[in-house]
Amino acid sequence: MGKLDGKVALISGTGRGMGRAAALEFAAQGAQVFGCDLNPQASAETVDLVTAAGGAMAALAPVDLSGREGAHEWVGAAVERFGGVDVLYNNASALRNGPFDQLADEDWYFTIQNELHIVWHSTRAAWPHLVARGGGSVINVASIAARLGAMFVGQVPHGAAKGGVLAMTKHLCAAGGPHGIRVNAISPGLIYTPETARFIDDPDGPLPGILKGIPLGRYGRAEEVAKLAAFLAGDDSPFITGAEIAIDGGDGSVAG
């Protein structure tokens, strides 16, 4: 018996990285997974990986969750396929980083739309289905960038958007309590994904300096984040809500 048996889990951004790892982990623990992505090919590859491993997964792609229409289309397709919603994992995001004085206004708006508004739209679309289910779990992906400034790359829009995700998590916790809906946030540190690989794998990149500030001395893996998300999705965390859980190897926890 898997710890997520009988649960329908909606996971956004399942085409690669942390979303793909979450789809594999949730399905391995017994959930029926409904994913989505902007990239149909990458989305289909994840579905194939999950089903080949014996899991249950379907997905909608391409779909853009940064607006109301796309979010409702995704949730509606999930409900039609699996009959309801027990878990919403707001993993998908897109951002634009760079030096503060060189970023265009469009970079700010793009990041807020695709890291903050995307959580609003998906949660609004899933909320009535969670209420109808008698409760459930919403897991938002924030970031340690919401609390820590980064020296190696400018992250002002990203940090601001993820700070908004943390604040939204607290307020959704209050709104969801009477309905049995738990809402928590995961704040990853440096995790190896297709997005971070370009500088983690760069022999002349900033990785050695970054690792000096991480007590465990390494970067994290997408599979480790997925296991934390699955714990928050399941019945082993019934009294955890409104929490922000950092998964960062201790980054930012000790003085340099």
**pTM attached to this predicted model:** 0.95
Domain boundaries, the chain: 8-189+221-247
CA 80: distance to chain centroid? 23
Place of tokens 């999930």: 78
CA distance 64 to 248: 29
Strand bridging mode 87-90 / 136-141:
parallel
Predicted local distance difference test score (pLDDT) of residue 154: 76
Angle between helix 156-176 and 118-132 (nearest 10): 20
Predicted local distance difference test score (pLDDT) of residue 151: 57
Per residue in 111-170, pLDDT (tens digit) is: 999 999 999 999 999 999 999 999 999 999 999 988 887 656 778 999 999 999 999 999
Task: Judge whether 82 and 8 are in contact, CB under 8 Å.
Answer: yes
Say which residues have a Cβ less than 8 Å from residue 171's Cβ, sequence separation at least 6. none
Residue 26: which of 180, 169, 234 has the closest Cα? Answer: 234
Predicted local distance difference test score (pLDDT) of residue 204: 86
Say which residues have a Cβ less than 8 Å from residue 216's Cβ, sequence separation at least 6. 249, 250
Protein fold of 8-189+221-247:
Rossmann fold (3.40.50)
Predicted local distance difference test score (pLDDT) of residue 149: 79
CA distance 87 to 76: 14
**Which residues of the chain have a pLDDT value below 50?**
255-256
CA distance 38 to 22: 17
Predicted local distance difference test score (pLDDT) of residue 254: 56
HEC string of the chain equals: CCCCCCCEEEEECCCCHHHHHHHHHHHHCCCEEEEECCCHHHHHHHHHHHHHCCCEEEEECCCCCCCHHHHHHHHHHHHHHHCCCCEEEECCCCCCCCCHHHCCHHHHHHHHHHHHHHHHHHHHHHHHHHHHCCCEEEEEECCHHHCCCCCCCCCHHHHHHHHHHHHHHHHHHHHHHHHCEEEEEEEECCEECCCCHHHHCCCCCCHHHHHHCCCCCCCEEHHHHHHHHHHHHCCCCCCCCCCEEEECCCCCCCCC
Say which residues have a Cβ less than 8 Å from residue 46's Cβ, sequence separation at least 6. 14, 15, 16, 19, 20, 23, 24, 35, 37, 57, 59
Predicted local distance difference test score (pLDDT) of residue 223: 98
